[in-house]
Amino acid sequence: MAFEKFDPALSLPVNFTVRDNPFENSKEKYPKQMRLFIPLTSIDEFCTHIKAVAKTKIETGKVYDMRTNERAEVEGIYLNGNGRKNTFEDDEDSCFGTINPRRIQTEEETEDIPF
First-last CA distance in the chain: 35
pLDDT at 30: 85
28 three-class SS? coil
**Residue 4 scores a pLDDT above 70:** yes
DSSP string, 41-109: GGHHHHHHHHHHHHHH--EEEEEEETTTTEEEEEEE-----EEEE--SSS-TT-EEEEE-PBPPPPHHH
Inside any domain, residue 111: no
Per-residue pLDDT tens digits for 61-101: 999 988 898 999 999 999 988 998 877 667 677 888 999 98
Domain span at residue 45 reads 14-103
Inside any domain, residue 39: yes
pLDDT at 61: 95
Inside any domain, residue 77: yes
Inside any domain, residue 109: no
| Residue 90 CB coordination number (10 Å) | 7
The pTM of the full predicted model, rounded to 2 decimals, is 0.74
Q: What is the mean pLDDT of residues 51-60?
A: 93
Inside any domain, residue 6: no
- Count the domains in the chain: 1
